[in-house]
Amino acid sequence: MHSRRHPIRNAILVIVGFVALAGEVGAADLVAPSVQKTLEASFSAKGQATLARLAQDKTQGLCTHYATSPIPAKVVTEITAMGFATIKYPADGEYLGDWQRGEQIAQSGLGKQSSDDVEKPAGGNCYACHELTKAEIAHGNLGPSLYHYGKLHGDNDVVKKYTWGKIYNAEAFTACSSMPRFGHKGILTAAQMKDLMSLLFDPRSPVNQ
């Protein structure tokens, strides 16, 4: 939904990943401390974009470490297990909200950038990577088409639970997914996720027309 790969950024992330994994995969001798200091000195904090973003969690570190080589099966299992452990399903058991609000969230690319107002809700920017409706011709193709999602998959509890989990933390289903961890990282609220779910499942939604 949000991310695009960039060769320079990926090179930086490889360095950060090796540092983050030091002691876990024997990478401590691959990057000198001075390299980490140079990396940190190359960025400056602005607004909500702080230097804390340079610190990877374990999932990000593992994915960076294996960015240019096959991920061992046991690491895939570890990543997906960590992802599943983070998923929080709706406390009220309700998965659907308002599809019209969901469409607005899907269209919005605001949130988590230094120039964004922290008082305003973030968007999902879903069209950056997915096709959702035929009316939107400027959609991305990094992710699969979601057009007719509800019509094709139905709306039983199993499908809705899977879809919620995928939005919440895609790493639970696909190790090193390019999809942002919307729920786990607090990009979207539970209410916003319900609205996106409704966009995907409501038969009145343009997704299912």
* DSSP string computed for 84-127: HHH----TTS-----HHHHHHHHH---SSSTTS-TTSPP---GG
Residue where the block lists tokens 């990943």: 17
The whole-chain average pLDDT of the chain stands at: 86
Stronger pLDDT, 206 or 15, i.e. the higher one: 206
Per residue in 175-185, pLDDT tens? 999 999 999 99
**Pair of tokens at residue 183:** 């729920």
In terms of CATH architecture, what is 99-208? Orthogonal Bundle (1.10)
- 158-172: per-residue pLDDT in tens? 999 999 999 999 999
105 and 188 Cβ atoms separated by less than 8 Å: yes
User: For 63-105, what is each residue's pLDDT tens digit?
Assistant: 988 989 999 999 999 999 999 999 999 999 999 999 999 999 9
Task: Give CA–CA dist 181/166, Å, rounded.
Answer: 8
Give the CA angle between residues 127, 197, 106 to the nearest 5°: 25
Taking 50 as the threshold, does the pLDDT of residue 29 lie above it? Answer: no
Show me where the domains of the chain are located.
7-72, 99-208
